[in-house]
Structure 1
Amino acid sequence: MEDYIYWHLPGFSVFRDLNSTLIDVMQEYPNCFYDNYRVGSVYGTFPGAIWNGGRTVLGFCSKNEIERTIQLYNSKNVPMRFTWTNPLIEERHLNDTFCNLIMQMADNGQNQVLVNTDILEKYLRKNYPNFKFISSTTKRITDPDKLHDELKKDYFMVVLDYDMNHNEEVLKGLEPMADRVEILVDEICFPNCPNRLKHYRDEAMKQLQYEVSKPFPCPNRQEKKTFADCMNKPAFISKDQMHDYINRGFRNFKLVGRGLPQSVVVDSYMYFLVKEDSQVFVKGELGKRLLDKAKKREELRKSVRR
């Protein structure tokens, strides 16, 4: 059995066309991608789900769209991973109709959940035991002892806090459990940010109150973000450095993207997943197929109006 490297991609809803197209191109042109790379999951939320955390995602999504999206990914053997990491969830939120509908529709044994709070995790484990549970980086666990305690719990995986990405002592200690550790390789936030947990709570409150008019007053806030910004951050793991992590036994890597422009996400996919001599071809193939999907969608809209 081959030892695959799994990549966990952002925005299963907002980047649905991009992600599903990338998965198809990876299957059709495997030689264009680095050896043994696979899409391990697509993470995110459907618009308007109050359990969502990390980034505010407002809006509306119909039952048909939810069903179509689940079928799209799961038919390609790619799990969907729900970001149920809102740290402000209380017992009164547990019976939310929309979030429970999503879980019921995705309850087929293929999908996963990122968790942050005990109250929601206990509810989900009791009512939806067929999902795989993953400890979220939004817990901001930066103490090595607490990290090891987290790995002793019944989690399918634990996502490493990005501030530990290059901590040699921590990485060495994780080697026996490396296959259960997921590493966020291109976090755009600043290192050792003292406001990160406050920022998560701010996003969580906006999700609960359906309000995004007031941006979080972060002193490091950037209006325009690029992949080059990610590459310049201390937590960034380069392609050359990836070999060391893989040799240590790490097999799961996460890419950021929720809240970022699609162009930045495409740049990260090209850099991490695609061989350098194939990037022009793969990017062109993605562009053509995405344009074709957009045209077909517009034609469908026009036919419905008639």
Structure 2
Amino acid sequence: MQAERRTIPHQRRSHTVKRDVAYYHLPGLFEFYELYQVFLPLFRAHREYFYPWCRIGSIYGAPSDCLWGGGRVGCGEHDPREVLELMAEYGISARLTFSNSLLRPEHLSDPKCNALARLFAEYDGPQNGIIVHSDLLLHYLQAEYPGLYFVSSTTKVLTAFSRLRQELDRTDFRYVVPDFRLNKALPQLDVLPQDLKDKVEFLCNECCFFGCKDRAACYRAVSRKNLGEPGQEHHCAAPDAAGGYRFSKAMENPGFIGVDDIQTIYLPMGFSNFKIEGRSLGSALVLEFLLHYLTRPEYQLHVREELYLDNMLDLF
């Protein structure tokens, strides 16, 4: 399979600009604040532990009880100003996951979400962003908080390449996250103009069943829950769904993008943005993602020891 993926004709890359840096967009802005409190200083102080070609482009998430939230139900309780202070200290963009797909005009006045959007828009530091699904919310935020940038959410489930291309052509979004099932549509991806390649943000480590037809329904159920509205609970019928997320299982997914794929396929093709999911998975599993995607193999034990032993970080 690896050989097949690397046989894209070179003549199709005449306008490709090979990228030398991968920007990771990491989960748990509020949810895993304590983990990032100890990981980010380590990432700065010991760059020799980590791949020289990788950077942290953003960290995304949402506190609990956000009507505009989507994708997952937020669970972080940390002071947003402390969260932004940490991000600003390390030059990292903070993103709010306001990807609820079921918003109505009356929801736009929600005081908590507006206060968060205002704070993120006005905070002195790297430009912050919002991940959105609803065009209603997008247009409201563009008018009210012009200091933000916007990311088209993977909750739109863009599985048709024609729909992805339409979304990439929109000027509203700095980045667009396609459905993970388009990750290996390499012949179509390869001939995108370079300015559109720079907007694609691949979801790398999805564990969802590749043949799932209920993904959009699952996201709608989360949106209803965030709105506090009644509705039938969504129960995933995919094979092995009861086992929950396993990184080992995600690695076997046909849409998986691993660290070797990023280096040997996607960066040479001109892509540079990669999203890691995991807001609802727990700190221990998120650490495994940080080890796989950012940490050189010979230093992975060093990173574990620094976090577990030197910082006494409780990840379980």
CA contact (8 A) 1:58 1:210 kept: no
1:53-78 deviation digits (Å, cap 9, x = unpaired): 0011257x47xx11111111122211
Query: For 2:69, what is the secondary structure of its paired residue?
Result: coil
- Partner residue, 1:171: 189
More divergent stretch after superposition (139-148 vs 191-200): 139-148
State the shift of 1:273 in Å. Answer: 0.8
CA distance in 2, matches of 1:246, 1:146: 23
- Partner residue, 1:116: 133
Aligned residues: 289
CA distance in 1, matches of 2:278, 2:159: 22
Q: Flag the 1:286–1:198 CA change in 2: closer, same or farther, 3 A.
A: same
- Partner residue, 1:105: 119
Counterpart of 1:196 (choices 215, 225, 239) is 215
Q: Flag the 1:224–1:139 CA change in 2: closer, same or farther, 3 A.
A: closer
CA distance in 2, matches of 1:170, 1:289: 47
Counterpart of 1:159 (choices 150, 156, 177) is 177
TM-score normalised according to structure 1 size: 0.88
State the shift of 1:230 in Å. Answer: 1.3
CA distance in 1, matches of 2:47, 2:230: 43
- Partner residue, 1:88: 102
User: Greater helix share, 1 or 2?
Assistant: 1
Counterpart of 2:146 (choices 107, 112, 129) is 129
CA distance in 2, matches of 1:173, 1:211: 45
RMSD of equivalent CA atoms: 2.2
- Partner residue, 2:312: 291
CA contact (8 A) 2:35 2:313 kept: no
- Partner residue, 1:142: 159
State the shift of 1:120 in Å. Answer: 0.5
TM-score normalised according to structure 2 size: 0.85
State the shift of 1:211 in Å. Answer: 8.1
Query: For 2:189, what is the secondary structure of its paired residue?
Result: helix
Structure 2: segments with no counterpart, 5+ residues: 1-18
Structure 1: segments with no counterpart, 5+ residues: 295-306
Percentage of identical aligned residues:
31
Question: What amino acid is the match of 1:13?
Answer: F
Matched, 1:208 2:227: yes
State the shift of 1:190 in Å. Answer: 1.1
CA contact (8 A) 2:51 2:294 kept: yes
